[in-house]
């Protein structure tokens, strides 16, 4: 049994269990500039997030409400933490790198590391890379990011399908 | 068949080749039969033999091979008629699955017979396949849609059901014979009597029920009954609609094409007799052979033995799961089949399913294509263990032990 659960420790690392259980950024923002919902119709996971921009256009703050598994809640919370203070174009680059990491287990560092400025942020998402071994769970990790991009683009609703 | 002891169960399980597979290095414990059941060797062989020895298109060739294929295909219709105790083999229409059968009725009976202003009555515990076709009918044809509520125990609220029929505008009741989430078996014979007393026809969705108990459409006095082959140990891609002949004859066709016509000119076409009117295009010929074998397999095991076995397993599962700290079982119906939905405190159903999977235990997690029912109970998802003829008490024990580990993992 222990060897079966060892593999699960890659998926459910302590940082994920911790953020899944005690998200720091859960909750709707009282004042926000954009909001969007993400929906995974296959499993019923839902996330809504609220976004506030700083005067210089960077993301100042993100709050979210999620009804989903430990992976999706932890991913939303880590995302909110990491994108704070990040310019929108860097958020897009981070998302595409994170998506690669979630699917394949490692990030295309070169794509996000012109000058290495995003490498540190991507590294903080590394605990979620374990989902690549669980194909049905990749969308749990990427759903909050789809919602974030939708909020940025003003699409309001998105789906991880 | 002996399903009481380990020897008998070992013999039965040997009929299902897939059960020897290992998953993540562990013996497969397949507790997802309500989504789709595994196949006995007899089904696999019947399909192989069809392809190897008597395969051709049906209903059109004048050659020997086509005649044999047609005979075999039509023999499946006899098997389905016997399974349902249908009075007339022409009342059996082959479809791809239950979903297509319900869509057929929603389209052909819904648009052809029901009038705008009439209503269809469903229940809160329907699978999406028995909700969405009726919404489509409502939006396209002006037929109302009413929903009978479910009690906290997960049973149909019969008083509310009857009250929704009282004004006489419901033309058709479409309701599950057994919930795929709650395991609840609905009192179909009473529902039929109530529907008829208020002038409504009734369709029963037997996708789950027919796996667990003997269905007799004449004793039920139903008007339509649908089921799918793949949950009944048969192949995917074939299911059936039974409907009273007079109703089927009054209904316009569903899909147009070959095999469903008596003649075609560019000005007009005329339809074949039932059931062929509803079977456009080349049907699931190989799957029909598999379905026949599945029906014969179920008949050989016997519904009495199946019912007793599953009642034993379900009672055992309910007791064992309830003993796991934090487990909450959804649905406490008196009359139920081998499906148990549950939640575990501090762990989302998807996480539960992933952790069980790593122990070789396959369960379903999610909304089970019954989102409105989930919402009714204030849930987004549950985990669900469902049982088949091959499920053993040892597997229920493994599930309970596996859940203890999941609980510790997320504690």
Per-residue pLDDT tens for B54-108? 999 998 778 999 999 999 999 999 999 999 999 999 999 999 999 999 999 999 9
Size of interface A-B (CB pairs under 8 A): 56
| Rounded mean pLDDT, B104-113 | 97
| Rounded mean pLDDT, A33-61 | 91
Interface test with B, best of A1, A2, A4 (most B CBs within 10 A): A4
Inter-chain contact B351–A42, Cβ cutoff 8 Å?
no
Contact B287, B236 (CB under 8 A): yes
Bond from prior residue into B316 cis (ω within 30 degrees of 0): no
Burial of B284 (0-12, 13-18, 19+ CB in 10 A): buried
Main-chain phi, psi angles of A32, to 5 degrees: -145, 160
Is B9's pLDDT higher than 90?
Answer: yes
Residue pLDDT, tens place only, B260-294: 888 888 888 888 899 999 999 999 999 999 999 99
Residue pLDDT, tens place only, B29-67: 999 999 999 999 999 999 999 999 999 999 877 899 999
Inter-chain contact A68–B348, Cβ cutoff 8 Å?
yes
Interface check for A18 against chain B (CB to CB < 8 A): the answer is no
Average pLDDT, chain A: 87
Range of the domain at A90: 2-159
Task: Report pLDDT for A1.
Answer: 47
Specify the 3-state DSSP secondary structure of B363: coil
Task: Report pLDDT for A128.
Answer: 93
Q: Considering only CB atoms, which chain A residues are within 8 Å of B358?
A: 4-5, 7-8
Kindly name the residue from B202, B369, B374, B396 that is annotated as catalytic.
B369
CA distance A126 to chain B (A): 19
Closest CB from A3, A67, A70 relative to B380? A67
Which chain A residue lies closest to B378 (C-alpha atoms)? A67
**Domain total in chain A:** 1
Interface check for B25 against chain A (CB to CB < 8 A): the answer is yes
CA distance B234 to B83: 13
* 3-state helix/strand/coil string of A102-146: HHHCCCCHHHHCHHHCCHHHHHHCHHHHHHHHCHHHHHHHHHHHH
CA distance B90 to B208: 24
Q: How many residues does chain A have?
A: 161
Pick the CATH number of B6-30+302-410 from 3.40.47.10, 3.90.1150.10, 3.40.309.10, 3.40.50.170: 3.90.1150.10
Does B84 participate in catalysis according to the annotation?
Answer: no
Residue pLDDT, tens place only, B321-350: 999 999 999 999 999 999 999 999 989 999
CA distance B134 to B130: 7
Pick B119 or A46 by higher pLDDT: B119
Q: Which of A97-106, B137-146, B189-198 has the lowest mean pLDDT?
A: A97-106
Which chain B residue lies closest to A1 (C-alpha atoms)? B359
Angle formed at CA B122 by CA B119 and CA B123, multiple of 5 degrees: 145
- Listed by start position, the domains of chain B span 6-30+302-410, 45-299
Residue A71's CATH number: 3.90.1010.10
Inter-chain contact B366–A12, Cβ cutoff 8 Å?
no
Residue pLDDT, tens place only, B117-163: 999 999 999 999 999 999 999 999 999 999 999 999 999 999 999 99
Which chain B residue lies closest to A66 (C-alpha atoms)? B380
Specify the 3-state DSSP secondary structure of B172: strand
The pLDDT confidence band at residue A114, using thresholds 50, 70 and 90, is low
| Rounded mean pLDDT, B308-319 | 96
Whether domain B45-299 has CATH 3.40.50.2000: the reply is no
The pLDDT confidence band at residue B6, using thresholds 50, 70 and 90, is confident
First to last CA, chain A: 33
Alpha helices in B261-339 (DSSP H): 285-301, 303-322
Task: Report pLDDT for A108.
Answer: 59
Q: Considering only CB atoms, which chain A residues are within 8 Å of B349?
A: 69
Task: Report pLDDT for A115.
Answer: 57
| Rounded mean pLDDT, B368-379 | 91
Main-chain phi, psi angles of B240, to 5 degrees: -150, 150
Interface check for B349 against chain A (CB to CB < 8 A): the answer is yes
Closest CB from A1, A68, A137 relative to B354? A137
Residue pLDDT, tens place only, B201-221: 999 999 999 999 999 999 999
């Amino acid at each position: 049994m222990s060897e079966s659960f060892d593999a699960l420790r890659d998926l459910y690392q302590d940082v994920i269990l911790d953020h899944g259980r005690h998200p720091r950024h859960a909750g709707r923002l009282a004042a926000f500039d954009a909001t969007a919902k993400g929906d995974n119709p296959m499993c019923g996971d839902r996330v809504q997030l609220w976004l506030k921009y700083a005067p210089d256009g960077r993301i100042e703050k993100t709050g979210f409400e999620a009804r989903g598994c430990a992976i999706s809640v932890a991913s939303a919370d880590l995302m909110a933490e990491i994108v704070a203070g990040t310019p929108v174009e860097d958020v897009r680059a981070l998302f595409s790198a994170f998506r690669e990491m979630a699917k394949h287990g490692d990030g295309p560092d070169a794509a996000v590391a012109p000058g290495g400025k995003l490498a540190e942020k991507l590294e903080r998402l590394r605990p979620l890379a374990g989902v690549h071994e669980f194909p049905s769970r990749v969308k749990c990790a990427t759903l909050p990011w789809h919602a974030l991009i939708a909020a940025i683009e003003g699409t309001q609703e998105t789906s991880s399908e | 068949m002996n399903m009481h002891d380990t020897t008998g169960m070992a013999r039965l399980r040997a009929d299902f080749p897939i059960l020897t597979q290992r998953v993540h290095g562990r013996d497969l414990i397949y507790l997802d039969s309500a989504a789709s059941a595994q196949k006995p060797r007899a089904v696999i062989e019947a399909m192989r033999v069809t392809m190897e020895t008597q395969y051709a298109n049906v209903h059109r060739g004048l050659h020997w091979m086509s005649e044999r294929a047609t005979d075999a295909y039509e023999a499946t219709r006899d098997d389905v008629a016997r399974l349902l105790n249908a009075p007339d083999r022409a009342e059996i229409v082959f479809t791809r699955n239950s979903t297509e059968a319900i869509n057929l009725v929603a389209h052909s009976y819904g648009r052809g017979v029901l009038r705008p202003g009439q209503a269809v009555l469903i229940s809160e515990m329907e699978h999406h396949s028995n909700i969405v076709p009726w919404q489509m009918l409502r939006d396209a044809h002006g037929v109302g849609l009413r929903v009978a509520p479910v009690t906290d125990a997960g049973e149909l609220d019969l008083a509310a059901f009857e009250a929704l029929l009282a004004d006489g505008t419901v033309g058709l009741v479409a309701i599950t014979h057994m919930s795929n989430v709650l395991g609840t078996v609905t009192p179909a014979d009473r529902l039929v009597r109530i529907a008829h007393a208020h002038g409504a026809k009734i369709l029963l969705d037997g996708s789950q029920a027919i796996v667990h108990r003997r269905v007799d459409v004449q004793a039920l006095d139903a008007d339509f009954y649908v089921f799918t082959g793949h949950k009944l140990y048969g192949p995917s891609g074939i299911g059936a609609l039974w409907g009273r002949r007079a109703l089927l004859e009054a209904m316009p066709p569903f899909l147009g094409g070959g095999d469903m016509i008596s003649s075609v000119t560019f000005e007009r076409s005329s339809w074949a007799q039932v059931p062929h009117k509803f079977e456009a295009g080349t049907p699931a010929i190989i799957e029909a052979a598999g379905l026949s074998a599945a029906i014969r397999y179920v008949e050989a095991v016997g519904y009495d033995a199946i019912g007793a076995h599953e009642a034993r397993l379900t009672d055992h599962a309910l007791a064992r799961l309830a003993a796991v700290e934090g487990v909450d079982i959804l649905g406490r119906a008196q009359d139920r089949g081998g499906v148990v939905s549950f939640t575990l405190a501090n762990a989302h159903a998807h996480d539960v399913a992933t952790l069980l999977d790593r122990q070789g235990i396959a369960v379903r997690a999610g909304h089970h294509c019954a989102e409105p029912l989930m919402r009714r109970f204030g849930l987004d998802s549950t985990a669900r263990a469902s049982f088949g003829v091959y499920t053993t008490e040892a597997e229920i024990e493994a599930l309970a032990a596996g859940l203890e580990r999941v609980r510790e993992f997320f504690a």
